[in-house]
Structure formats: C-alpha cells, structure tokens
Amino acid sequence: MACDLWRDKLDAFVDGELSAETQRGFDEHLRVCPSCAAGIATRTQLKIAVKRAALRRYAPSAQFRRKIEAQFLPEKRARRTAWIWLPAAGLAAAILLAAVWIARRPAAVSGAPTLSEIVDVHVAALASANPVDIVSTDLHTVKPWFEGKLPFAVNLPDLTNTPFSLLGGRIAYLNQKPGAGLLFQFRKHRLSVFVFQDSAQWKHLGPQDKPEQRASFWVETFRGSGLRYFVIGDTSAENVEQLSNLMKGASGAE
Amino acid sequence: MRETPERSEAFAELALPLFDSLYNFACWLAQDRVEAEDLVQETYAKALGGYSSFEPGTNFRAWIFRILRNTFLNSRSERAATRTVAWEEDETAAAELGQITEETPESILLQQWNQEAIREAIGNLPVPFREVLLQADVEEMAYREISQALDIPVGTVMSRLARARKLLRTELQGRIVRA
C-alpha cells in the first residue's frame, strides 16, 4: 500500500527534512490520501502548538543575565588601557558630540513628519469601521494572510503571558509604500505596529532607545532585516516599549 | 590552555546570544529555575574552558547544547543512566510507529489543547523525548544538528522524535477524553 511508503516520513515532511525529490513525491501522494493528509495536519498543528507553548516559556532574570555577562563577557582590552588616552579621548569626544549634534539637527526635523504620518495612519485605522482586514487573534492566521500581498514576511511575537492580544492585520500605506498594519489590544486600548521595507529616507530616524511622544501618542521605531518598524499607542511609553521589544524578539531586530 | 582575551571575546560573541535559549532549554530539562541557572552557568564555564577544542566553522549551537545536556545528565547521573538505558531499548518500539493509524479527522481536536495542557504534557515526557522535541520544535534545529547536540545517530533522532510526538498526542488526546 502506498501509505506504507510514506507514513514513516510524516514527521520528516513536517520538519522540512525531506529531499526535494521525496518532497515532490509526497506532495503527489497527499493529494490522494486523506489519511496521510490528516497525519500531516495533526503533526503541523502539534509542532506549532509545542513551539507556542514552550518557546521562551522560561526567561532568565535580569540579575542572572548580568551575572553571566559579568562572568563571560570579557572587558575590551581598550578599556584596560583607556587611562593612557584619557586626555585625547576627552577632546575627541567633545568634537564628536558637536558633530553628532550638528548632524542630527536636520534629521530630527525631517524625522518629525514621518512619525506624525504614522500617528495619522494609526488614528485613521482606529476611526475606521473596519480597522483590520483580517480579524484574528491567531498569529498563525494573520501572518500567512500577508503572504502575496507584501514583498516581505512579517514575524509576529508569541503573546502568551503578555498583556497584549492580537486583533488582526491590514495593508497600510506610508509614502505610497505598502506595509503591514497590525492591531493589538492592551486592556481597552489599541496599539498599532506598522512594518515597511526600510528606506534611505528613514535612515535619519535610527533606532530609538525610548518611545517618543507625538500628539498624545507614544511612537517607537526601529529597524531589522531590511524592515522598518513603527510601534504606536496612547497608553504609556512603557507599553509601547514592551510591544516593541516583543516585535524585536520575533523579528530579530535591534 | 589559558584563555586569551581574543579567544574569550570570540567565545562571548558566539555563546551569549544563545543565553535565552540555553536557559529556556535548561528549565525544561531540570524543571527547576535554580538548577537551571546552575546548569547554564556550568555550561558556559565548561564551554569557555573547552573552547580551544571547538572547531571554528562547525556548529557551535549544537556543541554548547551538547555540553548543557551532558552537564544535566551528569548532575543526576544515576537516575539518568538507568533511564537512558531503558529508553534506548524502547527505541525499537519506535519502528512500530509506522503502523499507528490514529490519523483521523478527530485529531483536529488538537486545536482544543490549551497551552498549559501542552506545557504539562511536554514536562511529563521522559527527558530523551522532551529534549529531542524541544530541539526540533522550539529551537528548530535540523535533524543533523540535533544528532550532534544529543550525540545520537540521525536515525535515532527521527525515531525518538516520532515517539515523542506520539506520546504527546496520546497524552493530550487522553486529556480531552477525560475532560
């Protein structure tokens, strides 16, 4: 029976461990075999469920992290000989600070419109009767919805044990560019995350250490893997930062 | 061999980004945060001490996960040794998994499992099955990488993983029936 040939490859199929040729053969078989198709569905669901349940289930305390870093993160040699260069370094730092201050002035001015536009996009979405096009709390439903609609993939964080829940997603536009608009809920507040392909025009925004306030909203922006992220909400800087960190964790952004 | 600053820096660059993963994995193995912290700290110390034996270009993640896993097994050597033998013998049962015919549409009931039930079920798996499942599904390691981390053949990774998932499905479906 054909199933005998394939049944012991169900796990390897789900784990992406089959050769391209075997994969094609298995795909053909799945079209005519409900039993193996059900086996694949079950295993896929289980694999996803295990990851959601177990990934980052246990997070190290900040104290333990500091302890490990103190123990295993070596001090730079430069730091050990820094005293030799202190006078010169002081002068260089002063020059550098002045240069940075001068360089950032136009950037700060030109950055303001972008963040203000993000506020507009967020407010427009909240004002809409249909703030999302795909309504789902399941990241595994929302993420695939963007496939084919955007030229990049959006990685979403596991929100288990966080105060946030996903409401859905939509296509958003900024400067005539399509991006992912994600709507999250925190208590009775709604926060948006917008993801666009990064562009030189946003270079001046840089990564922020803290959210900035714009028209009573808190906005944080960061970049990673060629994408630019904007996180916005009206709750607090801490909430926006927390959601930003979740997105950074899911996307590998800095 | 005494660690030079350059070697320590190279080690930190590779090892510290894995800190969260190692800690999570250690907690799943030990099921105790204090023990997990000891495990991670000891793993880093051993890995740094033995870093000169690590071949650049080979899989560092598999290497350091292997150190953590061996440290864990050594920390509870007697029990672990006994159980490992029993489980290794049980590998032959995995060959029979090919004849399992539980793949029915009813298995869609998977969707009813809540995360806490899944966590409990994972925690109840014997260590050899728990570790292979976590490395495949959570760390998303390839079979070859898992075989290096667990020091077992790829074929054993496959059979052990199939058995782990079978055990998990059985446990979770049992919970649904009991509910």
Q: Which value does ipTM take for this structure?
A: 0.81
Residues A47 and A121 in one domain: no
Amino acid B93: pLDDT: 43
| pTM, to two decimals | 0.56
Least confident of A50-59, A112-121, A219-228, B44-53: A112-121
- CA dist., res. B156 & res. B172, Å (int): 24
- A22-26, A119-123, A126-130: which is most confident: A22-26
Instruction: Answer yes or no: do A60 and B138 touch at CB < 8 A.
Output: no
Let me know if residue A236 belongs to a domain.
yes
Let me know if residue A86 belongs to a domain.
no
Let me know if residue A174 belongs to a domain.
yes
Structurally, chain A folds into a number of domains equal to 2
Contact call for residues A115 and A219 (beta carbons, < 8 A) = yes
B101–A contact, CB cutoff 8 A:
yes
Amino acid A182: pLDDT: 94
Contact call for residues A46 and B168 (beta carbons, < 8 A) = yes
Amino acid A149: pLDDT: 80
Residues A33 and A156 in one domain: no
Residues A22 and A148 in one domain: no
Amino acid A155: pLDDT: 87
Residues A48 and A133 in one domain: no
B115–A contact, CB cutoff 8 A:
yes
What CATH number should be reported for the domain holding residue A129?
3.30.200.100
Confidence of residue B177 (pLDDT cuts 50, 70, 90): low
CB neighbours of residue A208 within 10 Å: 16
What percentage of chain B's residues is helix, strand, coil (to nearest 5)? Answer: 80, 0, 20
Determine whether B151 is exposed, middle or buried from the number of CB atoms within 10 Å of its CB (0-12, 13-18, 19+): exposed
- What are the structural domains, with CATH classification, of chain B? 1-79 (1.10.1740.10), 92-179 (1.10.10.10)
pLDDT surpasses 60 at A27: yes
Let me know if residue A97 belongs to a domain.
no
Let me know if residue A246 belongs to a domain.
yes
pLDDT surpasses 50 at B90: no
Let me know if residue A84 belongs to a domain.
no
Average pLDDT over residues B63-69: 95
Q: For residue range B141-164, what is the model confidence (pLDDT) as tens digits?
A: 999 999 999 999 999 999 999 999
User: Domain end: A53, A68, A92, which one?
Assistant: A53
Q: For residue range A54-89, what is the model confidence (pLDDT) as tens digits?
A: 988 899 999 999 999 988 887 643 344 344 444 555
Strand partners, A178: A173
Instruction: Answer yes or no: do B169 and A46 touch at CB < 8 A.
Output: yes
User: What percent of chain A has pLDDT above 70?
Assistant: 81
Residues A29 and A141 in one domain: no
Residues A129 and A15 in one domain: no
Q: For residue range B111-137, what is the model confidence (pLDDT) as tens digits?
A: 556 788 899 999 999 999 999 999 999
Residues A129 and A210 in one domain: yes
- Which among B44, B107, B143 is the nearest to A17, CB-wise? B143
Instruction: Answer yes or no: do B15 and A71 touch at CB < 8 A.
Output: no
Amino acid A91: pLDDT: 56
Instruction: Answer yes or no: do B20 and A11 touch at CB < 8 A.
Output: no
User: What percent of chain A has pLDDT above 90?
Assistant: 15
Let me know if residue A161 belongs to a domain.
yes
User: Domain end: A53, A68, A85, which one?
Assistant: A53
- CA dist., res. A50 & res. B113, Å (int): 11
Let me know if residue A59 belongs to a domain.
no
Residues A19 and A136 in one domain: no
The owner of tokens 């039930």 is B117
Q: Which domain holds residue A123?
A: 105-251
Amino acid A94: pLDDT: 58
